[in-house]
Structure 1
Amino acid sequence: MGQVTVFSGPERRRRWSNEERLWILAEAFAPGACVAEVCRRYDISSALIYTWRRKLREAHTEPASDHLPTPGFAAAVLIDEAEAAHPGLQPAIVIDLARGKRISIFDSASSALVASALKALR
């Protein structure tokens, strides 16, 4: 005759309400909090917390607007050296982004700083 093992106790797959999820997320990502400690306290995977956070961010992001201009080529304008009275005060590159944002890069910026700024735009 074979042996049968019966597992009793709470169901392993738990259902978390939206309020509980928000409470746990607020606790896990509070300043000075440790996500791993919060996960241990509630006996959940850290991947689950990050999944909840990603879904919450996706639910609260603005949809891409259709009226934004499509990317295209920018016109290059050459300025005579005589007209540039203060070359350190004017930006070397100006990047206009969607929704009226603008990034200015000056001649004095280091190449590492410019590279990190451009990587952040991706």
Structure 2
Amino acid sequence: MAKAEVEVITSERRRRHWSRADKERIVAAALQPGATILGVARAFGVHSSQVFRWRQQLCGKETPSPGFAAVTIAADPHVATARTQGLIEVEIGAETKIRISGSADPAIVTALIAALRAGSR
């Protein structure tokens, strides 16, 4: 049989008071790689919504990532061959580049757009 820990509150104050240090310790545990809010909340005996609130108070509100990114059109030295063969090139950030050469099949272009939309969410 598992032992359960019970906290008895004998004072008139019915709510537990968490010090700022305790809140910071719990939020820091929740920010560790691989940690989940629910797991941390259970480990410290607090409701998960309280951990979310403390994280918001201590770390600030999360700003949503922008839906659109800046686009730069650069001259390509292979433009002459690309015009005759067909070329679609999409760059996302500095590391991701998608290039479709040859005749652009509408199904491939549609799949590319769907993948980009799914990845931006």
TM bucket by the smaller chain? 0.3 to 0.5
TM-score, length basis structure 2: 0.46
TM-score, length basis structure 1: 0.46
